[in-house]
Structures are given as structure tokens and as C-alpha cells.
């Protein structure tokens, strides 16, 4: 076919595209022989354009002489002839692909048995047998439809959800046991805090108040004929331990000892002498732990350490003589006029300090003894043990 010439030739800028013919299909050039698309033996080579003065760009002829002689050809591959079973499988696969996933009869997904076999003839037969067994057997249970979150639950579904949210008996029991243990631990912590901290603060305040009451009574010149239980009448000083504690009548726990004071043995068979007596054993008791703990560190006293008792009339100074680290509470011989185990051999003016041991228990008693070395009227001032 001869192309139509444009209206303006030889480089004219004006070019009418409407005069151009439709592009023709590309033909292999310079010849079409065996092994080329659309070519064969004896196929004539395409002819160049009739007018060599003008050639379209898409059919530009490369410069240089044309090749001569027959073109090299590649050996044609041997045709593969599929058997009947392969052709049937390919036809079925082609039909399913053409039907698409949404078509009737076309499954949305295929199992391994539905996929076409790509191996040899034996593998294809096994795949076909697997499809037959699956069709004969029972079909799998259909999956539950997805739950629509906006749809209200039925009564059965609501009951099932409520049972699923309900805790089991084991969970409830373990939760109750855990809460009991936590409550018990908190109570124990509060009790320990009360015993070791708050009782000391409260007893210290009450002991200071009792000491001031005793000093005020001395200043006013009051001199009771007899001391009532729980009434303070003297003050004890232990300089080495930095102890200043009031002494009250009796060893009652609630009225005397728990209020941070030291109690004087003055009841029944446990009645002991007073400091002003010319002979006897002045015995007192006090807490070692909690409630002010005035006798907590009396085990640190050594022989010769002073213990001073101040009354309305005088100062009585004792020197520590001996200590009994442990004895049963029933051993009352330690507070006798001549205490047993103290090392004293005859009557004299003695002092005995008793407290519980070991610490934070009341299983045994610790005993400390002392002997009076000085009686000094208050009008002469404080003894040397208190001046320094």
C-alpha cells in the first residue's frame, strides 16, 4: 500500500494529520522466513514504499546494505500432545476460572483436593480419588455466622454471656482468702505500730503529767498519811541510762505500769520497805518494752552505777551491786528484806529493780540489786550523782 503524501513536503511546518493513513501492522523486515511470526517457507519479503523520497518514521529503514542469504533458523520445539485426562482437567479449571468466585456452583475457596494436579499422571489420579472420597463422605459442619455487634442478643445468648462473665467458685474462694489475709496483715501491722510506738508516746505523756503532779504536791507542802494505789510519791533517776520516771504505789498494770510509771511492791505478801525506812528492801517493777519502757536497758548497768530516789524530804542514792539475768516470775525471794542471790549477807537498806525478759515477752524476770550509800536532805541540794 502506497502512503498518502502530505500536502506540504520538504520540511514544511504545516502538516495535516488527517491525510495520514492508518498505521499498518509491523512486518518483520527484511524478510519473513521459517521460525519468524507469520512467516514460513516461501513467504515473500515485504516491499519497501513505492516512493523512496519520503518514508514514515515508524517504517524507517536502517542504513546500510541489506543482508543477503537465508536467515538462521532455530529448531522448532516438539509439540506436546496432552492426554484425555489432562485435557478434561484443563477444561474444568478453565470453566471455574471463567465462572469466577461469585458465580453459582463456583466455590469461594478450594481445598487441596480441588486444586489441579501439576505433577505426573499418578499424582493427578490421587487428586481425583481424594475429590471423590470427599464428596461421598459427610460434609464438614458449617461455621457459625459472624456475630453482628449491633444486633441485640437473644435470651439464650444473654444467659450464656452472663454465665461466662460469672466467676467460678475457686476464683471467689481464692479472692475471699486473699482479702482475709490482707485484712489480717493490716490489723497486725496496726497492732504492732500501736504497741511499739503509740503506747510509748501515750505513757510518756502520762508519766510527765504524774511527775509534775508530784512536784506540785511537794511545793504545796502536802504530806498524805498513806499513799493510795496508783498515786505517785517519788521520782527515780538512773543517770547512766538517762531515765527519769515517777514511782507510784502498787504494781497494778493498768493504773501504774501501763501509764509509764514504776510501781512499788506494797501489797500483801509482796509488801516491801520504803526508802525512808532504816532497814529493808525497797523493790519496784517497770516495763522493759512498750508503755514507756523505763527499765529496757537496766541490763547495761554495772556495779557502782548510781540509782537515785527523790522523795518529798530527801535524796536516797544507791549503787548497783549485782544482777540476776533470768529467774521465774514465781521467785519472790528476790524482793525479801535480804534478797536471795543478791550477794547481801545481812540486813541493810537495799533497792531491787524487776522487769520482764527476754524483750517483748514476759516469760522470765530480770533482777538488779543495789545498796544505799547516801541519804541527803533536799534542803542540802542534789547529790553528786545528779549534779554532773
Active site positions, annotated: 287, 356, 365
H/E segment holding residue 208: helix 199-220
CA distance 207 to 257: 10
Contact 323, 299 (CB under 8 A): yes
Contact 340, 324 (CB under 8 A): no
3-state class (DSSP) for residue 141: coil
- Rg of the chain, C-alpha, whole Å: 60
Q: At what angle do helices 84-99 and 121-136 cross, to 10 degrees?
A: 60
3-state class (DSSP) for residue 264: strand
CA distance 53 to 143: 76
The DSSP string of 20-54 is SPPPPPP--SS---TTSTT--TTPPPPPPPS-TT-
Contact 251, 264 (CB under 8 A): yes
Q: 118: which strand partners? A: none
CA distance 296 to 359: 8
**In whole angstroms, how far apart are CA 320 and each of 317, 353, 370?**
10, 10, 4
CA distance 298 to 55: 129
Backbone angles phi, psi at 369, to 5 degrees: -115, 150
Unique residue bearing C-alpha cell 459427610 = 138
Amino acid at each position: 500500500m502506497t502512503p498518502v503524501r502530505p500536502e506540504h513536503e520538504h520540511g514544511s511546518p504545516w502538516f495535516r494529520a488527517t491525510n495520514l493513513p492508518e498505521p499498518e501492522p509491523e512486518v518483520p523486515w527484511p524478510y519473513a522466513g521459517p521460525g519468524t511470526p507469520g512467516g514460513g517457507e516461501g513467504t515473500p519479503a515485504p516491499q519497501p514504499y513505492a516512493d523512496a523520497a519520503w518514508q514514515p518514521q515508524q517504517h524507517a529503514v536502517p542504513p546500510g546494505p541489506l543482508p543477503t542469504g537465508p536467515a538462521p533458523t532455530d529448531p522448532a520445539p516438539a509439540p506436546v500432545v496432552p492426554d484425555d485426562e489432562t485435557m478434561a482437567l484443563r477444561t474444568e479449571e478453565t470453566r471455574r476460572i471463567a465462572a469466577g468466585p461469585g458465580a453459582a456452583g463456583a466455590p469461594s475457596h478450594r481445598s487441596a483436593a480441588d486444586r489441579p494436579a501439576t505433577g505426573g499422571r499418578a499424582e493427578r489420579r490421587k487428586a481425583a480419588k481424594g475429590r471423590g472420597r470427599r464428596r461421598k463422605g459427610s460434609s464438614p459442619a458449617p461455621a457459625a455466622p459472624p456475630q453482628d455487634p449491633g444486633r441485640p442478643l437473644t435470651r439464650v445468648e444473654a444467659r450464656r454471656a452472663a454465665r461466662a462473665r460469672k466467676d467460678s467458685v475457686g476464683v471467689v474462694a481464692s479472692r475471699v482468702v486473699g482479702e482475709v489475709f490482707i485484712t489480717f496483715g493490716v490489723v497486725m501491722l496496726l497492732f504492732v505500730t500501736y504497741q511499739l510506738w503509740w503506747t510509748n508516746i501515750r505513757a510518756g505523756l502520762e508519766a510527765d503529767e504524774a511527775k509534775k503532779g508530784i512536784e506540785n504536791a511537794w511545793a504545796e507542802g502536802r504530806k498524805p498519811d498513806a499513799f493510795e494505789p496508783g498515786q505517785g510519791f517519788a521520782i527515780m533517776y538512773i543517770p547512766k541510762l538517762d531515765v527519769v520516771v515517777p514511782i507510784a504505789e502498787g504494781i497494778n498494770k493498768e493504773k501504774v505500769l501501763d501509764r509509764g510509771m514504776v510501781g512499788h511492791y506494797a501489797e500483801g505478801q509482796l509488801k516491801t520497805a520504803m526508802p525512808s525506812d532504816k532497814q529493808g528492801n525497797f523493790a519496784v517493777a517497770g516495763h522493759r518494752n512498750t508503755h514507756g519502757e523505763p527499765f529496757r536497758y537496766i541490763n547495761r548497768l554495772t556495779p557502782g552505777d548510781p540509782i537515785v530516789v527523790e522523795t518529798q524530804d530527801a535524796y536516797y542514792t544507791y549503787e548497783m551491786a549485782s544482777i540476776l539475768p533470768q529467774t521465774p516470775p514465781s521467785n519472790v525471794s528476790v524482793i525479801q528484806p535480804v534478797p536471795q542471790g543478791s550477794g547481801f549477807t545481812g540486813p541493810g537498806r537495799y533497792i531491787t529493780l524487776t522487769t520482764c525478759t527476754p524483750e517483748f515477752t514476759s516469760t522470765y524476770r530480770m533482777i538488779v540489786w543495789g545498796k544505799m550509800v547516801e541519804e541527803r536532805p533536799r534542803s542540802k541540794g542534789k547529790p553528786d550523782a545528779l549534779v554532773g
